[in-house]
Structure 1
Amino acid sequence: MKKCIYILALLAAASCTRDLTDLNKDVKNPTDAPSYALFTYGQKELVELLTTSDVNTSGYRFVVQYWQQTTYADESRYNFDERELNKHWWDGFYTDVLGNLEAARDLIPKYTADPAAQKNQAAMIDIMEVAAWHYVVTTYGNVPYSEALNIESAFPKYDDANTIYLDLIKRLTDASAALNTAAGGFGDADVLYGSNINRWKKLANTLKLKLAMTLADADAAKAKTFAEEAAQAGVIGSAAESALYRFLSSPPNNNPVWTDVVQSGRNDFVACRTIVDSLKAKTDPRLQKYFTPNVAGVYVGGAPGVLSDYEDFSHIGPIIAAADNPGVLIDYAETEFLLAEAVARGFAVGGTAEAHYNKAVEASFIAWGLTAGDAAVHLAKPGVKYVAAEWKKYIGVQKWIAFVNRGVDAWLEWRRLDYPQLEAAHEAVSDIPLRVKYSVDEQNINRKNYEKGSHDIGGDEVETRLWFDKF
């Protein structure tokens, strides 16, 4: 973890020099950051993007109706243009995540002598890049890919989203096969697994399963093949194998939600009525873990899109708002939900859909400080107990509840599974978004390719349905 601040130290050292010729150097873009520091920074930036509640970058908790705003309602009503969320999300992935990971790849030979370790490091970078590209493609659709991240390609073309996705799955397959458990990786600069190569293999396979299931409605045959390959190769099988980023209890490496909810001293967010009412209807004990009661001692959420008085509604719970609450790339509960869906679709991944569904809910309970016994009681309730004929509903709703602190993942699953059935927010500027518009910089700088990319997906609108979202 300490190495993730290496770049900041490097900048500080550069600023203290007495050699005036150094004034001509761009200290904001150091040319000699080591590969392992750039790898750590890429990991950190990816998980921060997935975790942050900063309305300038991420409004997904409002879209899927976990949170509601008190001071302004732009993101709750799907106005992502006001603070240029479209641009900041795009730049975050292309520059801060993918840019740093590619720079790390280029520097591997300089900082690692062992060829086997070099190969492992390249595979680890591939896995992290695929995870990042997954979010880029499922957010926007067609995007620059084959010509992206290349300084010689100033105006990269937009590649077909489905073609990109199939290539991402191939990259995961290749990376899993390339990883050598007898060799090292990035050492403790790998803040997900400490370079445990067995766990990196499982991460690659689990991400492959996730991408396969994302394709399931668009291409069931390919999804079946990829899901079965991933399960056979070995996916995450316990909470200990979850891909978690361990934030620290103090800045600058704390959980960004703490920054927005606690450190800021602002009262901008409350619980949303949709999630609170769903949890109350099922007497789900996770309610007390996710939120706090209002001043009257009851759990109540604000209506989507309606400005909500902070004192009248439930607030973000202390677990979610903790400075050291881990960020999640993918975890055991999600893996079991994916396996449950795969079996429900007739894919041969082992086990029964109900058994995987039960394990997923149990894993969610335990992750939030409840017990397996609590989960068993909950799973026996009508409306929670698995019903095979309505698998999309049951898996979709429980996954939505489990993903309460993972807004962008919940948004993807809502688009795929169509549950829970949400209604558009009050005074919404559009229907519930099915994608995010392209960055305004693309319109201004890469205009020709932007126009073709927009045309090919059916228009640069939030209502445009992406290739995987068939229903």
Structure 2
Amino acid sequence: MKKTAFIFVLVSMLSACTKDITKLNIDPKNPVNVPSYSLFTEAERSITNTVTSASVNLNIFRLIEQQWTETTYLNETDYQITYRKQPDAIWSAIYSGALTNLDRAKKLIPTDVNDAGTQKNEIAIADIMEVYSYYYLVTTFGNIPYSQALDINQPFPKYDDAATIYSELLTRLDADIAALNPSAGSYGNADIIYGGIPANWAKFANTLKLKMGITIADFDNVKAKAVVEAAVKAGVFTSNDDNALFAYVTTPPNTNPVWVDLVQSQRHDFVGTSQFIGLLNPNTATQDPRTPYFFAENKNSVYLGADNGSGSGGIVYSNYSLPSGPLLTPGPPTSSQPKSIGSVTNPDFPGLLLDYSETEFNLAEAVERGYNVGGTIESHYDAAITASITYWGGTAAQANAYLLLPNVAFATATGTTPLQKIALQEYLALYNRGWDAWIVNRRLDYPALVAPPNAYSAFPVRFTYPISEQNVNVVNYNQASTAIGGDKVTTKLFFDTKGAY
């Protein structure tokens, strides 16, 4: 009887296994069918992580822009970008992480979403994020794979001309803005940045358009003027409430990458530079109100930066100010404890993709260049600085007092030209956004950044192509390298026409 029962059980097991043997080929951790909205969420997370990261293996622009310096291993501070293959990491993160997911989402939306208006909005928003992602690739490398980049049938894609790509991105952005319908639905909570609100995405797209127009102002002033004026007329950011924030949480894996890179990994070898902290605090009487939000006091309870590139084990990090910020007092904001987004090293510190302060600096620059955007250089300059201070946690009163300082007030501010005055304050406002600071610094060549003592190269005005491309996509790599004037960090890209660097 026992034997019969055993055979019955065995036969039952075998028959159960053979009824749908194809299930054995399914990996439950890697589903074949992924909803389009999940792909969009992951793309948002991926691109935000990439532009926010402080990893020495990926995003080293805070070091290149001398907001921070290393105290132990100086490879990145000294402009060595091949040792840890940062170009490969950036290339992969944007192409494989953000762009591939966005492209797949766009292709699935017509099947996943029934409502035509919602379909149209979701495709437009995904495309806006593609334009945003390509912006960083083309301003970092120059000519890149574009027309064949996401085609699975093109394993060795050709490189397209950077200026041509840029023009196409602006055309796509116009089409996306026109396609957005504020009365129709969108991604809802799957959109971490704006909760799926089309009107917010339209304002984001126009603000990105303004930024992209200003970026090419020295390359094609006529086109830049038309792009900027059209964006402003359609409606750009008007307050910090418009800022494009990606909300991280306190528990891994969806935590602030800076927390992951510095706190979770227990790194203490990044400190503020003497140059950057010196700009914030030229003396104790004129301390920038953002200082306590940018850095922590050192062991002697003062803000002190290390000379850029002076580390290599020779300095003690506790003598200097680490990237940090205030511990927030529980409860609602008060006059003495204003609202703050907290410390850059908090696990839930938000990722910032585009903001109002940057927008006002772009408008100040537009006025200086003679574009019809309304206001004066000074009014936009003041608004930009105020927006930065209040975003970080300072008060409007603190911003007003700061704007009265002789080295800050526009008429007497540091810098010999209006664009230099704008550039210096934008450099400070782009703290924790080193990639964008690098783009602006290359355009305006101010403030002048002195190379570290043991630099591997001159100041890098572009990143070299990934080693993987050099080894695999050889023919197209060689053509691209020749077209841009050589695959070197000193080869200027199309938009960077001036020059101190």
User: What range is the shorter-chain TM-score in?
Assistant: over 0.9
State the AA in 2 paired with 1:313: Y
- Structure 2 counterpart of 1:441, from 468, 473, 476: 468
Matches within 5 A, 1:23-422: 24-25=25-26, 30-281=31-282, 282-307=286-311, 308-318=315-325, 319-387=343-411, 390-422=417-449
- Asked whether the 8 Å contact 2:388–2:429 carries over to 1, the reply is yes
State the AA in 2 paired with 1:258: W
- Asked whether the 8 Å contact 1:387–1:394 carries over to 2, the reply is no
Separation in 2, partners of 1:228, 1:296 = 50
Structure 1 residues 431 and 296 mapped into 2: Cα distance closer, same or farther (>3 Å)? same
State the AA in 1 paired with 2:53: T
Separation in 1, partners of 2:227, 2:29 = 42
Separation in 2, partners of 1:287, 1:53 = 19
Separation in 2, partners of 1:146, 1:26 = 33
Gaps of 5+ in 1: 1-16
Offset from partner CA, 1:83-105 (integer Å, 9 cap, x none): 11110011000000001110111
Gaps of 5+ in 2: 1-16, 326-342
Structure 1 residues 387 and 417 mapped into 2: Cα distance closer, same or farther (>3 Å)? farther
Q: Aligned to 1:316, what secondary structure does the other structure show?
A: coil
- Residue 266 of structure 1, CA deviation: 2.4
- Asked whether the 8 Å contact 2:420–2:447 carries over to 1, the reply is yes
Offset from partner CA, 1:101-126 (integer Å, 9 cap, x none): 10111110221001111010110011
Structure 1 residues 214 and 29 mapped into 2: Cα distance closer, same or farther (>3 Å)? farther
Offset from partner CA, 1:135-171 (integer Å, 9 cap, x none): 0000000000011110011111110100000111111
Q: Which structure's CA Rg is the greater one?
A: 2
Greater mean alpha carbon deviation, residues 306-315 or residues 370-379: 306-315
- Residue 317 of structure 1, CA deviation: 1.3
Return the TM-score normalized by structure 1.
0.94
Separation in 2, partners of 1:26, 1:195 = 31
Q: Percent identity?
A: 45
- Residue 25 of structure 1, CA deviation: 4.5
Separation in 2, partners of 1:219, 1:341 = 15
Separation in 2, partners of 1:306, 1:20 = 63
- Asked whether the 8 Å contact 1:343–1:349 carries over to 2, the reply is yes
Q: Which runs of 4+ in 1 moved over 3 A?
A: 17-30
- Residue 387 of structure 1, CA deviation: 3.7
Structure 1 residues 29 and 448 mapped into 2: Cα distance closer, same or farther (>3 Å)? farther
State the AA in 2 paired with 1:205: N
Return the TM-score normalized by structure 2.
0.88
Structure 1 residues 72 and 22 mapped into 2: Cα distance closer, same or farther (>3 Å)? farther
- Asked whether the 8 Å contact 2:289–2:399 carries over to 1, the reply is no
For the aligned residue pairs, the C-alpha RMSD in angstroms reads 1.6
- Residue 31 of structure 1, CA deviation: 2.4
- Asked whether the 8 Å contact 1:172–1:204 carries over to 2, the reply is yes
Q: Aligned to 1:75, what secondary structure does the other structure show?
A: coil
Structure 1 residues 378 and 112 mapped into 2: Cα distance closer, same or farther (>3 Å)? same
Separation in 1, partners of 2:27, 2:489 = 38
Separation in 2, partners of 1:262, 1:273 = 23
State the AA in 1 paired with 2:220: D
State the AA in 2 paired with 1:271: G
Name the counterpart of 1:10.
none
Offset from partner CA, 1:158-212 (integer Å, 9 cap, x none): 1010000011111111111110111011111011111111111101100000000
- Asked whether the 8 Å contact 1:258–1:322 carries over to 2, the reply is yes
- Asked whether the 8 Å contact 1:130–1:168 carries over to 2, the reply is yes
1:451 matched to 2:452:
no
Structure 1 residues 423 and 28 mapped into 2: Cα distance closer, same or farther (>3 Å)? farther
Q: Aligned to 2:255, what secondary structure does the other structure show?
A: coil
State the AA in 2 paired with 1:375: A
Structure 1 residues 29 and 442 mapped into 2: Cα distance closer, same or farther (>3 Å)? farther
